[in-house]
């Protein structure tokens, strides 16, 4: 129930989360059931747990033609101070590139991330990082901001409240986060950024247009935030016009997680397919995962985009930016990286390094 299949081939999902190495089989089952050909695993790091990046590297090592990896940054050095020897951001980026990662994932710019590390992306801490990323031409998938209703307790959806995604006056504000990105892009106009979740501008298409016009090297991805589908369904003609005009700047994504059931994965991907491909008026199926909210939340109107527009959104744009095939992983370097991440986690948590996801992946890949 609730599934909807795409009519397209060669779909690349630019925004997927690999929760744990143990999810290997379920990730493959979701990919297959949802009719996805390749996935970009966006790998936010959890330095304490020694997790996030290792399980994505594992999938890339095992299925090199299928999985791209966008590696998250490790801020343990900044958070823990001098007692930890963690490579700086520039060194991290260079090492990701050497080992065969395809890009960088950033979550610095989601207010919850700012609560943990209260360092604006305009801070000197990031200065050399931005310069190096621009120079290397490394693509970034970057989550900046959140839906505006997350700052309004009266409008905060229940699924967001349960994740503590409600913000108040003491939190960083939405316009502040946008202003910081503007500054970064003014200094580094060559940055190749895919802003996740339509950059949370789905309620304001004129502003979204201006932003894309002002910054020719950036793109938006379509990973829900289900509010994006509701916002863009209010005026489907205007939305279709936007998608046709900016067909080269929009990247398909689902925000799937390997921890979901196959049905949830299919429903999540199908929701986006149906919105892009059909002219149906529909709701989120009851079988959808928790973060998509209940059917009662709103009505979605399909945009019935042409095959030509769809093929760019479903893969062409991603391939053009990141490459038609995932880069080859240097397994030895990936093992080194995982061992280093395991050691950092052990130092931060006082738990044995051997218990981390990083150590598990290092031993599996080294044993191959
Ligand atoms: Zn995500």
pLDDT, position 156: 95
Q: Which two tokens stand for residue 201?
A: 């501008």
Q: How far is CA 122 from the centre of its chain?
A: 21
In order of their start, the domains of the chain are: 12-366 (3.20.20.140)
Q: 15 C-alpha vs ligand 1 centroid, how far in Å?
A: 6
Q: Cα of 88 to ligand 1 centre, how many Å?
A: 24
- Give the pLDDT score at 176: 96
The ranges of the chain with pLDDT < 70 are 1, 82, 368
Q: Which two tokens stand for residue 46?
A: 């959890």
- For residue 302, give the nearest of 325, 333, 280, 269 by alpha carbon: 280
Check residue 51 and give its pLDDT. Answer: 98
Longest dimension (CA), the chain: 58
Residue 82: per-residue pLDDT:
63
The torsion angles phi and psi of 264, rounded to 5 degrees, stand at -60, -40
64-99 pLDDT, tens digit each: 999 999 999 999 988 887 678 789 999 999 999 999
Residue 2 has a pLDDT of: 77
Distance 170 CA to ligand 1 centre (A): 24
Distance 255 CA to ligand 1 centre (A): 5
Measure 198 CA to ligand 1 centroid, in angstroms. Answer: 12
pLDDT value, residue 102: 98
Q: How far apart (Å, rounded) are the C-alpha atoms in residues 344 and 336?
A: 13
Q: Is the dihedral of CA 337, 349, 104, 24 positive or negative?
A: positive
Q: How many Å lie between the centroid of ligand 1 and the Cα of residue 26?
A: 18
Q: Can you give the pLDDT at residue 267?
A: 97
Please tell me the predicted confidence (pLDDT) of residue 83. Answer: 73
């Amino acid at each position: 129930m609730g599934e909807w299949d795409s009519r397209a081939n060669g779909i690349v999902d630019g925004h997927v989360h690999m929760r744990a190495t143990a999810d290997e089989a379920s990730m493959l089952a979701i990919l297959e059931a949802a009719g996805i050909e390749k996935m970009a695993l966006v790998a936010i790091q959890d330095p304490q747990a020694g997790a996030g990046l290792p399980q994505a590297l594992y999938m890339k090592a095992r299925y090199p033609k299928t999985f791209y990896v966008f590696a998250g940054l490790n801020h343990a050095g900044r958070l823990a101070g001098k007692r930890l020897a963690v490579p700086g951001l520039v060194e991290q980026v260079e090492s990701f590139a050497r080992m065969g990662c395809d890009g960088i994932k950033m979550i610095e710019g989601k207010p919850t991330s700012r609560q943990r590390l209260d360092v604006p992306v305009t801070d000197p801490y990031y200065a050399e990082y931005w310069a190096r990323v621009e120079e290397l031409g490394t693509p970034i998938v970057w989550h900046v901001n959140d839906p505006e209703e997350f700052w309004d307790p009266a409008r905060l959806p229940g699924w967001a409240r349960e994740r503590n995604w409600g913000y108040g006056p003491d939190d960083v504000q939405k316009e502040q986060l946008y202003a910081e990105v503007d500054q970064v892009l003014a200094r580094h106009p060559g940055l190749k950024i895919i802003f996740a979740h339509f950059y949370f501008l789905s309620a304001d298409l004129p502003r979204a247009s201006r932003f894309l016009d002002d910054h020719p090297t950036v793109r938006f991805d379509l990973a829900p935030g289900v509010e994006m589908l509701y916002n863009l369904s209010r005026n489907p003609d205007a939305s279709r016009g936007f998608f046709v005009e900016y067909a080269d700047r929009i990247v398909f994504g689902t925000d799937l997680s390997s921890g979901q059931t196959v049905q949830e994965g299919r429903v999540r991907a199908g929701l986006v397919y149906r919105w892009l491909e059909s002219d149906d008026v529909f709701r989120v199926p009851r079988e959808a995962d928790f973060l998509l909210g209940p059917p009662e939340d709103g009505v979605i109107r399909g945009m019935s985009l042409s095959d030509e527009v769809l093929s760019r959104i479903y893969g062409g744009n991603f391939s053009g930016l990141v490459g038609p095939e995932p880069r080859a992983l240097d397994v030895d370097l990936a093992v080194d990286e995982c061992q280093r991440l395991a050691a950092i986690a052990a130092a931060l948590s006082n738990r044995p390094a051997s218990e981390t996801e990083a150590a598990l992946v290092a031993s599996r890949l080294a044993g191959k």
